Structure 1
């Protein structure tokens, strides 16, 4: 099933067919300090993808989805410690390096949107004011379900920073996954079904969190090989095979005071609510099956 879903991911959402490299893409050697071993995440290349380097992170932006394909960071203990005392008073802004018809706009996320402006590289990771301000580029944002953004995913972001404080340094790549036609925001921005965060700790190993972009209070931890198979993005292409196949033991979510922690579930359970058949999303039976499997995933997540 996961193999079929991965094929659907590549075909439908990311549209990263291998082919001629675009002259619009920034050089793959740009901002190498952000990436593990200086190598950016690997995907099939498409003319509508563009690499954007910022002070402390980098994104591969897709003009098709009007979101990032991935957002990469090199986190250090010093940076995340400094970020604790940095006030969060920056404003979201449209990315000026992207053409207007290829980028998200502030109006897209205006009143009634129903989705939060969800950071991929979160502002809480950056210990300098200028770097934090750059994290508010809409090139670093996806339409994120409010529960995911404010609860499950926020808790996992906090745990990622706690891990970095413990180990000293880590490479982190975060991105959306488009598995089925979840629709668009304002008819312009593709809405992802999942959000993932891959973490590589040099000398220790690597793994990834993955969660649904909805109100499901659950998440999974997968190996880098599993993640790449599912989403079509290899966040750390230089890793040796044994490290790719074995998931590092990542810390559980860190909930805010008074909030319930999301439950760790198997990846098969988390992804099982997705159907990768060719049946159109408008088909009533397809909708019924999808709703039923989603309810099973919710029930499993809430069960203790």
Structure 2
């Protein structure tokens, strides 16, 4: 029996039909598409893992990180350098203690469409790591400390969805009050064309603290301290972590006393006692109108000064976190881990899922 001849001149078995040929051709084409798609995604995540020393320290005012003054905060800490922000992560609370970013007009001129990609932080050992399951049905949002909307690149955006950048946040606090404060902070940068150094994080006040999941501690409040070198404007937002929609502006010294953290070690006590009337919404920011002075905080106990050698050691930890690319968090038994960004299984799973979905959609279209 004669075999059916294809249009390309190849002789095909009789049981092969037109759909079979289309399927094979579709898979070949889809494979090529997936390879190109995969290259783009891989490049995105490779860039995530190559934060330079200078880029890491650039997120701090004068390249000096906030410093933990209270000794009890030092247990199981992980200095983590990300694209666009830095984190001092606590394995005790399974949240950041502070998150630092330097916002500039050039940085915020980049508009990156939001792509949610919540993931665990593989640089943190499993026993100290928050996981996605911790937040499910908890009644709390996964609240960004360094906001996604601050991020200038896809790599930075992906990093911002690390759980090392999250705290359990009351829905109205996260979705309304905190969103408005984040928008106001960006408006200062974009409307007034000035740099703003920001330190954001949780407050844990009281002896009995609520937890979700496997020991993720719920903050009693959230804070955002800001400093504007161009004008000397300084202050801090403080909002209870509930649905009350309350927020107040306090001095950096007041906040340091509550936290046990020197938020801006390069500033003097005199500077940190100054408090300005910071905007609560973006609409309150005017291009050529400086913020009014509020008060001098003479009562709060500012964080004590830090020796240069201690600050240099902390700088080195963050530089190592940005530059080293070979450490593995899961095999580490030390209390301080400053290894490389290892996106590991979470990124691989996400990439595979996207590739499979793209392949299936492509093949289905060809077979129609």
Does the TM-score normalized on the shorter chain lie above 0.5?
yes
* Structure (1 or 2) with the larger CA radius of gyration: 2
- Segments of 5+ residues of structure 1 without an aligned counterpart are 1-27, 256-265, 267-304
**Greater RCO, CA 8 A, separation 6+:** 2
Residue 90 of structure 1 is matched in structure 2 by 116
Residue 197 (structure 1) aligned to one of 224, 229, 244: 224
Measure, in 1, the Cα distance between the counterparts of 2:281 and 2:202: 19
- Larger % of helix: which? 2
Contact 1:194-1:213 at 8 Å conserved across structures: yes
Q: CA deviation at 1:237?
A: 1.1
Give SS of 1:118's match: strand
Correspondence list, 1:137-156, <5 A: 137-156=162-181
Measure, in 2, the Cα distance between the counterparts of 1:220 and 1:233: 19
Contact 1:205-1:243 at 8 Å conserved across structures: no
**Per-residue CA distance 1:13-46 (angstroms, 9 max, x = gap):** xxxxxxxxxxxxxxx9992211111110011352
Residue 132 (structure 2) aligned to one of 81, 85, 106: 106
- Segments of 5+ residues of structure 2 without an aligned counterpart are 1-52, 284-294, 296-368
Measure, in 2, the Cα distance between the counterparts of 1:167 and 1:207: 19
**Per-residue CA distance 1:195-246 (angstroms, 9 max, x = gap):** 0001010132311101010011211111111110122222111112221110
Runs of 4+ aligned residues of structure 1 deviating over 6 Å after TM superposition are none
TM-score, with normalisation over the residues of structure 2?
0.59
Measure, in 1, the Cα distance between the counterparts of 2:148 and 2:54: 25
TM-score, with normalisation over the residues of structure 1?
0.71
Contact 1:152-1:253 at 8 Å conserved across structures: no
Q: CA deviation at 1:90?
A: 3.0
Contact 1:94-1:137 at 8 Å conserved across structures: yes
Q: CA deviation at 1:187?
A: 4.0
Correspondence list, 1:281-296, <5 A: none
Q: CA deviation at 1:133?
A: 1.0
Residue 76 (structure 1) aligned to one of 80, 90, 104: 104
Measure, in 2, the Cα distance between the counterparts of 1:154 and 1:233: 24
Contact 1:224-1:234 at 8 Å conserved across structures: no
Residue 24 of structure 1 is matched in structure 2 by none
Root-mean-square deviation (CA), in Å? 1.9
